[in-house]
Amino acid sequence: MHGHSWGWVAGRCLAAWLALTTAAAAAGETPYLQVLGGDPARVERLPLLQTRAEVDIVGTIASVELRQVFENRGDVPIEAVYVFPASTDAAVGSLTLRIGERTVRGVLREKQQARADYDAARSEGRNSALLEQQAEGVFRLRVANILPGDRIDVALQYTELLRPREGVYEFFLPTTRGATAGGESATHDPVRSSAAAEVTDYSFALAARLRGAAPFAAIASPSHRIDVQRSDARRAAVTLAADEAKAATRDFVLRFSYAGDAIADGLQLYPGGPEQFFLLTVQPPASVLPDQVPAREYLFVVDVSGSMAGAPLDLAKLVLRELLAGMRPQDRFNVVLFAGAASVLDAKASLAGTPDNLRQALRFIDAADGSGATDLLSALQTAYALPHGAGVARSVVVVTDGGIAAGDAVSRLIRSRLGEASVFAFGVGARVDKAVIRRIARAGTGEAVMIENLDEGKPQAQAFRRYIEQPLLSGIAVAFEGFDAYDVSPMPVPDLFAQRPVVLVGKYRGAAQGRIRLRAQSGRGPYEAVVDVAAAADVSAENAPLRTLWARQMLADRIDLGAEPGAEDALRREITQLGLDYGLLTPYTAFVAIDDAVRTQQPSTTVDQPLPQRASQVVGYASGSGNALLFAAALSPALQQNLAASAAPLRVVDGRRFRERGDTLVDLAYRDGQPLLRIRRDSPAFMRLLQLRPDLRVWLELEGSVLLSLGRYAVLVDARGFSDYPDALLQRAVALRP
């Protein structure tokens, strides 16, 4: 391993995980549904009781069966609206609804037909469910006619391709909620969610099975305590630790990385049906030596239009300074600024990464003032037209707030030139259009990075620089010799980076035989690898998700590349048919499940379930009795500084000092990382807290919200806390028992 031990590899991976993990001050809450009936004083509740996830990870593919159980504890029929976010690569393949002993399987329909079928069943009093794609990676489920006392078991199956960051693969399962999701039904007013959740019996279970494309270097979870059982170097089983059985109020994150000191390839096949599928993964080594990195060229395409004026352009300049700071003298770079027209730092050739040239580039960027319209297509055409040296790994980095015309023509241009350059997209500014940024990066098989404020700019740019500064193979060509492959994506083949594998998915005809030959340019000269299909292939029924994965990739290609002018209707029909043929949720298809039995004549009241936040935006929880204990894992450093140095008023109450933060008084003794109990004012837990520690009354009964440090623990008393804390936990929090 070139002098590095296995422990070094694992330590490197764990350090990368720590670098990737960020904490936020906003708290998530347990999924909880509420209905406001005709009588405002009456509240109907539909709590989420159980979440169970079965996860199979084969190579870089995750197949998930997610089961969630709700119960109507009110006294009127309910229609529940639940929004589930997954990654933008998730492909939902089935929906099953079980109420009591009755099970109904969803059928995929064209979206308008599915909605009509659901609405008809809802009005007839039948149990029914409708699952739609609300946005990219966001799925909206409606379940109608849930009667008082009903328990509803909803099962979703989906597949996603896991993509690494800094050499680490991450599987994410959301279990918490945050801001309310949009897209409410046009026929119903949106209903706000519960402000007084009292969850006492919510449980969470997860089991994951991993089969690696190479030996695992490390497997861990930053969100939960887990048990990992390894049967061999490439197989492992993961379950929650025994004391995590109810710790469901933290989004679940599983991270793993592969070991190895050489570029490796893995071939997975799913044969035997009318169509046969394969997936080829070219995996970078765990550690990279300088001589493995070929010559590099970076083309920075920077938006300087009117929407970038002010903070977004300042942020873009900061990003460019950080990226340019990583240039080596042997590297080359150029800068294309675009608004209504494009201007180039040097139209003749890219410049060497010398100090003088870097200073010239910074002066060129600093002169931009943010004005005019935008034309990304012309700017990219200008960038691609710049002379390109042989054997050089070229990367195009687009920096913009997303307020640009980046339509189908842009995606098609980027994809058609994929063999020449990988394309990465930096979204900057508080109002960055994330969909545009992701689309640009996906067309170029690159990374999308969002930076919304200056505090994030430097560390994010540095992490991104580490990502793009280690291309390993460029100009990759794949030849199928005696292996009848077709409908392969992506084509052309993108570059291999130290932190990103190359993944090709496609179909094949006939027997699994022949060879796959890869040729490319590396830092050590020409590179060639040959995969003997019959000898190297992993043929298993566990590879069945390859069919869904291929269809999802085709859908992404069709949507991203768009239609030529006048062919929009044909593209819509093609996408719809692709979804129907492969049983996939698309923007134009939906799953609908309808029971035959008529169960009620009383109209359902609608309740909306808010959208969970990403794991990086949610503070962790731990289980007490149910999900009451919130661990304020870490306020962000920027927020900590704001709390310490803010100009907000300082208030002293009976010897304690508080900082006023809006309606909340924050105890200056509160420290980053303290376990935080969020308690609802006037709840049984609040009354018990005052009973245990009457001396706290002078602070806890202050108006508004109060965050009070108690030593090891802290409490936040407000109108949105929990009320079901175990007595033993409250006694520990107030230091009355260990």
**CATH number (domain holding residue 203):** 2.60.40
Asked if 455 and 329 sit in the same domain, the reply is yes
Supply the range of the domain harboring residue 663. Answer: 628-733
Which residues, at least 6 apart from 356, have a Cβ–Cβ distance to it below 8 Å? none
Q: Yes or no: say if 218 and 233 are a contact pair by the CB < 8 Å rule.
A: no
Q: Which residue's structure tokens are 């130290």?
A: 498
Q: What is the largest CA-CA distance in the chain?
A: 83
Please identify, among 603, 638, 657, the residue that sits at the C-terminal boundary of a domain.
603
| pLDDT for 597 beyond 90 | no
Cα–Cα distance for residue pair 372/388, rounded to 1 Å: 30
Asked if 596 and 634 sit in the same domain, the reply is no
pLDDT at 508: 95
Alpha carbon 662 to chain centroid distance?
Answer: 31
- What is the rounded average pLDDT of the residues 612-630? 27
- Helix ranges restricted to H, 406-562: 408-416, 434-443, 454-468, 533-536, 545-561
- What is the rounded average pLDDT of the residues 422-440? 81
Q: Which of 21, 25, 16, 241 is nearest to 673 (CA)?
A: 25
Asked if 640 and 715 sit in the same domain, the reply is yes
Residue 357 lies in a domain: yes
Residue 657 lies in a domain: yes
Asked if 132 and 37 sit in the same domain, the reply is yes
- Domain total in the chain: 3
**268: confidence class by pLDDT, cuts 50, 70, 90:** confident
Asked if 238 and 168 sit in the same domain, the reply is yes
Please identify, among 418, 453, 469, the residue that sits at the C-terminal boundary of a domain.
469
Residue with the bigger pLDDT between 193 and 712: it is 712
Question: What single DSSP character describes residue 386?
Answer: S
Least confident of 4-18, 303-317, 467-481, 691-705: 4-18
Residue with the bigger pLDDT between 314 and 553: it is 553
Structure tokens at 654: 């009976």
- Written in H, E and C, the secondary structure of 560-619 is HHCCCCCCHHHHHHHHHHHHHHHCCCCCCEEEEEEEEEECCCCCCEEEEECCCCCHHHCC
Task: Please state, in angstroms and as integers, the Cα–Cα distance from residue 255 to each residue in 169, 284, 563, following that order.
Answer: 5, 17, 37
For residue range 22-48, list pLDDT tens digits in order.
Answer: 222 222 233 334 343 334 334 445 666
**78: confidence class by pLDDT, cuts 50, 70, 90:** confident
Q: Yes or no: say if 546 and 507 are a contact pair by the CB < 8 Å rule.
A: no
Indicate the helix (H) or strand (E) that contains 365: helix 355-366
Asked if 346 and 249 sit in the same domain, the reply is no
Q: Residue 630, CB half-sphere, CA atoms under 13 Å: how many?
A: 27
Asked if 256 and 395 sit in the same domain, the reply is no
Question: What single DSSP character describes residue 655?
Answer: T
Cα–Cα distance for residue pair 298/296, rounded to 1 Å: 7
pLDDT at 59: 79
Asked if 199 and 341 sit in the same domain, the reply is no
Residue with the bigger pLDDT between 172 and 310: it is 172
Asked if 597 and 648 sit in the same domain, the reply is no
Region of 654 please: left (phi>0), alpha (psi -120 to 50) or beta: left
Residue with the bigger pLDDT between 168 and 622: it is 168
Residue 419 lies in a domain: yes
Which residues, at least 6 apart from 174, have a Cβ–Cβ distance to it below 8 Å? 84, 85, 86, 251, 612, 613, 614, 615
Residue 545 lies in a domain: no
| pLDDT for 152 beyond 50 | yes
Residue 518 lies in a domain: no
Which residues, at least 6 apart from 569, have a Cβ–Cβ distance to it below 8 Å? none
Asked if 127 and 212 sit in the same domain, the reply is yes
Asked if 179 and 302 sit in the same domain, the reply is no
Structure tokens at 223: 């969100």
Alpha carbon 601 to chain centroid distance?
Answer: 41
Residue 278 lies in a domain: no
Q: Which of 593, 559, 586, 614 is nearest to 85 (CA)?
A: 614
Asked if 298 and 399 sit in the same domain, the reply is yes
Please identify, among 428, 447, 469, the residue that sits at the C-terminal boundary of a domain.
469
**481: confidence class by pLDDT, cuts 50, 70, 90:** very high
Least confident of 52-56, 310-314, 510-514: 310-314
Residue 334 lies in a domain: yes
Residue 622 lies in a domain: no
> pLDDT over 70 for what percent of the chain?
77
Residue with the bigger pLDDT between 398 and 541: it is 398
